[in-house]
Amino acid sequence: MIGLAQKKRLDREFELHGRFYAFDSTTIDLCLSLFQWAYFRKTKSGIKVHTLFDVVTQIPTYIHITEAKIHDVKAMDDIPYEPFAFYIFDKGYYDLDRLYKINIIDSYFVIRQKSRFNYEVVDGEDLLDGKDNVLYDQTIRLTGYQTKKKYPAVLRRIVYYAPDLKRTFTFLTNNFTLKAKDIALLYKQRWQVELFFRWIKQHLRVLSFWGTTENAVRIQIYVAVIAYCLVAIVEHDCQLNRTTFNVLRVVSRVLTDKTPIRDLFKGSERLKDVCEEARQLEFAFTY
């Protein structure tokens, strides 16, 4: 189902040409007395859903479920890397050994820089004029005794100012061809995987489980991913020109409505009325 959904949506427009993936994980808390096989802490159990998310097609291409006590960086070893593809990580995945492995297989990564960081500037030391909100675009080499052994190659360091957030972000990448502003754009797309986690939790109900065995939990999560892929396929085939998250939000509220999906998205007034009816029905059942 993942392969079918991704294939259908490969023609989606995106600012850059290439393959771009965001990788992150979400933790789902479980009751310790019912899910003892997923022991996490003294008072609770839990699992982690590690997800590789295609930011162009908006489809999760790889799902890896582990116990919550497994550190995030260990899941990087199981990623099905593709040559010349970009992989976007949060700074929680800062592991120089694993990042260098991505470099030697001719793939690219984008990651936030950690606070403590010893390096020397090889090129681009001067402060830029702030064009495209890029403050620095440098080629650096690590100088720490351990860090230079773990990552002996050069890195690209980009300091970017986000005017909407009024914050400065520092990125590290092994790609030297894309513009600095495009690297910042790619990291911004990492939030798509966070949206995916929020939607499957809120709308596909993976916070409470019907079974207590490990197999039952895995099946329910896989069913949620299949449902997400089905909605993505419907959005493509019906040419709704909306994001998967938007279609999922509407469809989850009108499951009992008999209006054809195309007609549902044609008239904004009809869509508003149906969503309001679904909201009132949901409110009535809740209270």
What pTM value is reported for the model?
A: 0.84
- DSSP codes, 232-280: HHHHHHTT--S-HHHHHHHHHH-TT--S-HHHHHH-HHHHHHHHHHHHH
Name the one residue in this structure whose structure tokens are 């790609």: 175
Do 40 and 87 contact (CB within 8 A), yes or no?
no
User: In residues, how long is the chain?
Assistant: 287
pLDDT the model gives residue 221:
92
Dump pLDDT digits (tens) for 120-179.
Answer: 999 875 666 667 889 989 999 999 889 999 999 999 999 999 888 889 999 999 999 999
pLDDT the model gives residue 15:
67
Classify residue 103 by its DSSP letter. Answer: H
Nearest-angstrom CA–CA distance, 21 and 51: 10
Residue spans of beta strands (DSSP E) within the chain: 20-30, 45-54, 59-67, 86-89, 108-112, 119-123, 134-142, 155-162, 167-173
Nearest-angstrom CA–CA distance, 83 and 105: 6
**Angle, CA of 43, 44 and 46, to the nearest 5°:** 160
pLDDT the model gives residue 282:
43
pLDDT the model gives residue 139:
94
Name the one residue in this structure whose structure tokens are 């910042």: 184
Low-confidence ranges of the chain (pLDDT < 70): 15, 125-130, 267-287
Tell me which residue of 41, 21, 142 sits closest to 86, measured CA to CA: 21
Rg (CA), the chain: 22
pLDDT the model gives residue 165:
85
Nearest-angstrom CA–CA distance, 221 and 35: 15
